[in-house]
Amino acid sequence: MIDLHTHTFFSDGELIPSELARRAKDIGYRAIAFTDHADFSNMEFIITNVRKAIQGLEQYFGLYVFAGVEITHVPPELIPESIALARKLGAQIVVVHGESPVEPVAKGTNRAAILGCCDILAHPGLISLEDAKLAKKNGVFLEISARSGHSFTNGHVFRMAKLSNAKYMLNTDTHSPNNLVTKSFAKTVLMGAGMDENEVDQAFKNAEEMLERLLKRRYDEENR
C-alpha cells in the first residue's frame, strides 16, 4: 500500500509521525507521506519539524517515508506561490486540498492547484473535464479518497480522470489510526468509484509511478 496523503499531530491528526509510520508498516504499507494542513503561517514549521521527525523511520521501520504538506483553504490566487514556497522550504511532496463537496473550499482552487503543478490534487469534488485535462497536461494526479465525506464524489473524479486520461490514485487522508487501510480495502474503495479490475490495477500502478517521482526527487536533492 502506498498512501501519500496523511496527517500527524503537526496539524489535526492524532498521532506523532513515528507512531503513524509504525502503524502503517504493521498493516502492510510500503510508503507513506505526512502532508499536514498548511498555509503561509505554518508551512515552514511543519516542513522543518516533519523532516526532523522522519529521520531514521525508513531505516528502522522498513518503509518509504516522505515529508510534505497539504495546502489548505489558501486563496486560489495564492496557491501557485504557496506550492513554490513549500518546495523551496523542503517539502518532498505537495498536495493541495481540492474542492471537496463537504467543505466550503473556494471555487477555482482545483484550477489554481493544477496550474501551480502540485503533485496530488486531493478530493477534487466535482472537478471539471477541462481541469482534469489540464491535470493530465501538468502531471498532477487526481485523488480517489478513502475518507468519509470527501469520497462522495469519487465516482465523478474517476470518470473525469478516465475521460481526460489523467492519472488517479487512492489516498486515505488519514487523521486517526483507524483511517489507515489495507490494500484489500483500498481495492474495495476503488471498485466503489466504478472501476473494473484493470482500472483498479492501474490506480496501484499510478501510485507506484508517483513513488518513483518522489524517490527521484529525493535522489536529485541529495546529489545537488
pLDDT exceeds 90 at position 224: no
Confidence of residue 28 (pLDDT cuts 50, 70, 90): very high
Number of structural domains, the chain?
1
Considering the entire predicted model, what is its pTM?
0.98
Residue 133 sits in a domain whose CATH number is 3.20.20.140
- The pLDDT tens digits for 66-107 are 999 999 999 999 999 999 999 999 999 999 999 999 999 999
Is the pLDDT assigned to residue 9 strictly greater than 90? Answer: yes
pLDDT in tens, 168-218: 999 999 999 999 999 999 999 999 999 999 999 999 999 999 999 999 999
Give the phi and the psi of residue 183 in degrees, each rounded to 5.
-65, -35
Alpha-carbon distance of 114 to 121, in angstroms, equals: 7
Residue numbers of the domain that contains 208: 2-222
pLDDT in tens, 121-178: 999 999 999 999 999 999 999 999 999 999 999 999 999 999 999 999 999 999 999 9
CB 143 within 8 Å of CB 177: no
Opening angle at CA 188, ends 117 and 105, nearest 5: 40
